[in-house]
Amino acid sequence: MLFAVATYLVATGAFLAHVIFGKSALRRWAHTGLATGAALHLIALGSRVAVFGYQALAPLPEQLSLIALLAVSVYLGVALRAPLTAAGAVLAPLAFLASLSAYYFEQGPMPGPTGSGGFWLAIHVGHTLLGYAVFALSFCLSLAYLFQEHQLKSKARTGVFRRLPPLETLDQWNHRFVAWGFVFFTIGILSGSWLAQRAWGALWSWDPVQTWSGIAWLLYAGLLHARSVGWRGKRAAQLIVLSFLLLLASFIGVNTLLPGRHGIQTSWSHSS
């Protein structure tokens, strides 16, 4: 994991240098570094799973690390057809911090949720984490949008301004990411309810993780509805930033303090 951490840090520097100086070579280096970091990240997580099984991904730092890897992978796929380097400049340091936490707080295998889920467990966990990852991308785009909008209003037409995508492009991709994330997250919740029925005898049991996932779902459903009635641009970007921060805080806070029946391991103690 240490090699992935270092590579993400290099990619972060390359993205920032590209935004400041505008050299196309720096953009290529940034994307190459991000892709290399993602590959090393995948190898590190895959190696842990090969040794310990999928429970190696049960600790919260590993889950955040996996969300970052998924977000980077989606970004790299989208970046092949859309000029979203500004989002990459925000995402790269987030991937660095997530992988650094996974490295620093690395632990051995821990028990995950009780009960056998098999295929449905994979569907539930995979789609839920992918939803978080795509929501993270919308968060990155929203920050880029707000910075670009601020530059416009302050008439600070610097070189950085000229290298950012048009506001309309950022707004359109922002909406797409929220919509995609909502679909993935919905599948995660529905499959989780199916698992809850099998394991606990009820589709909904007001388990803390289940409850806060439902609140997050309602939050993003409200975002999509707000856009349909005209909440676009700056207002939408502000709502997305706020929604993701609340989503992230609830994900970390609930899994740390109130894991409930999910039994997710959340120790942040550094292994010496």
pTM, full prediction: 0.82
Domain, as residue range, for 58? 2-262
Is residue 46 included in any domain, yes or no?
yes
Residue 271 in domain: no
Whether residue 135 lies inside any domain: the answer is yes
CA distance 99 to 62: 8
Domain count along the chain: 1
Tell me whether residue 270 is in a domain: no
pLDDT by residue for the chain (272 residues), tens digit each?
788 889 999 999 998 888 777 777 888 888 999 999 999 999 988 888 887 777 777 777 888 889 999 999 999 999 888 878 888 888 999 999 988 887 777 655 555 554 455 677 778 788 888 999 999 999 999 998 888 887 777 765 555 555 677 788 888 888 899 999 999 999 988 887 777 777 666 666 667 777 777 888 888 898 888 888 777 888 888 888 988 888 888 778 766 765 555 554 444 444 43
According to DSSP, residue 202 is labeled: S
| pLDDT in the model for residue 35 | 94
Q: How far apart are CA 54 and CA 46, in angstroms?
A: 9
Q: Is residue 7 part of a domain?
A: yes
SS3 state of residue 155: coil
Q: Are 12 and 96 in contact (CB under 8 A)?
A: yes
Residue type, 236: A
Residue 115 — left, alpha, or beta (φ > 0 → left; ψ -120 to 50 → alpha)?
left
Buried (b) or exposed (e) across 214-241, using 16+ Cβ within 10 A? eebbebbeebeeebeeebbbbebbebbb
Per-residue pLDDT at 270 = 45
Classify residue 267: in a domain, yes or no.
Answer: no
Query: Between vectors from CA 224 to CA 244 and to CA 95, what angle results, nearest 5°?
Result: 30
